[in-house]
Structure 1
Amino acid sequence: MELLHATDVSKSFETGEGPLQVLRGVSLSLTAGTSLALTGESGSGKSTLLYLIGGLDVPDAGHIRIAGTDIAGLDDPGRAALRRGTVGVVFQQFNLIPSLDVAANLAFHARLSGRHDAAWTAHLAERLGLSALLSRFPEQLSGGQQQRVAIGRTLAAKSELVLADEPTGNLDEATGDAVMDLLLELVSETGAGLLMVTHSMRLAARLDRQVGLRAGVIA
Structure 2
Amino acid sequence: MLLRVRDVEKGFETADGHQPVLRGVSFDLDAGHSLALTGESGSGKSTLLHLVAGLDSPDAGRIEIAGDDIAAMDDAGRARLRRGTVGLIFQQFNLIPSLSVTDNLTFHARLAGRDPGDVDALAGRLGLGNHLDRFPEELSGGQQQRVAIGRTIAARPRLVLADEPTGNLDEATGDAMLALMRELVTDTGAGFLMVTHSSRLAGRLDDRLHLRAGRVTDPRGAE
Hey, what does 1:37 align to over in structure 2? 36
The separation in 2 between residues aligned to 1:45 and 1:67, in whole angstroms, is 23
C-alpha separation in 1, matches of 2:212 and 2:68: 28
For the 8 Å contact 2:117–2:154, the answer to whether it is kept is no
Whole-angstrom CA distance in 1 between matches of 2:138 and 2:13: 40
Superposed CA RMSD: 0.9
Letter aligned with residue 58 of structure 2? P
Provide the secondary structure at the position in 1 that maps to 2:9: strand
Structure 1: which amino acid aligns with 2:168? N
| 3-state SS of paired residue (1:132) | coil
> Structure 1 CA distance, aligned partners of 2:104 and 2:89?
13
In the alignment, what sits opposite 1:20? Answer: 19
Q: What whole-Å deviation, never above 9, does each CA across 1:85-144 have from its counterpart, x for those lacking one?
A: 11001011111111211111111110010112332x332211001121111111111111
Secondary structure of the corresponding residue to residue 116 of structure 1: coil
State the TM-score, normalizing by the size of structure 1.
0.97
What letter corresponds to residue 32 of structure 2 in structure 1?
G
- 2:66 counterpart residue number: 67
Q: Distance in 2 between matches of 1:123 and 1:7?
A: 39
1:61-140 to structure 2, matched below 5 A, reads 61-119=60-118, 121-140=119-138
Q: Which sections of structure 2, spanning at least 5 residues, go unmatched? A: 218-223
* Whole-angstrom distance in 2 between the partners of 1:65 and 1:109: 23
Aligned amino acid, residue 161 of structure 1: L
The correspondence for 2:210, drawn from 212, 216, 219, is: 212
Per-residue CA shift, 1:13-72, capped at 9, x if unaligned? 122222211101100110000000000011100011001001111111111000110011
Which digits, 9 at most, give the CA deviation of each residue in 1:131-169, with x for residues without a partner?
211111111111111111110011000000000101100
Give the 5 Å matches for 1:136-215: 136-215=134-213
AA of the residue aligned to 1:146: Q
- Quote the Cα distance in structure 1 between the aligned partners of 2:117 and 2:33: 26
Segments of 5+ residues of structure 1 without an aligned counterpart are none
Secondary structure (helix, strand or coil) at the match of 1:124 reads helix
CA displacement at 1:214 relative to structure 2: 0.4
Q: Deviation at 1:192?
A: 0.6
Partner SS, residue 130 of structure 2: helix
Name the amino acid aligned to 1:68: G
CA distance in 2, matches of 1:163, 1:29: 14
Counterpart residue identity of residue 90, structure 1: I
Which sits farther off after the overlay, 48-57 or 93-102? 93-102
Q: Helix, strand or coil for the counterpart of 2:62?
A: strand
- 1:176 is displaced (CA, Å) by 0.6
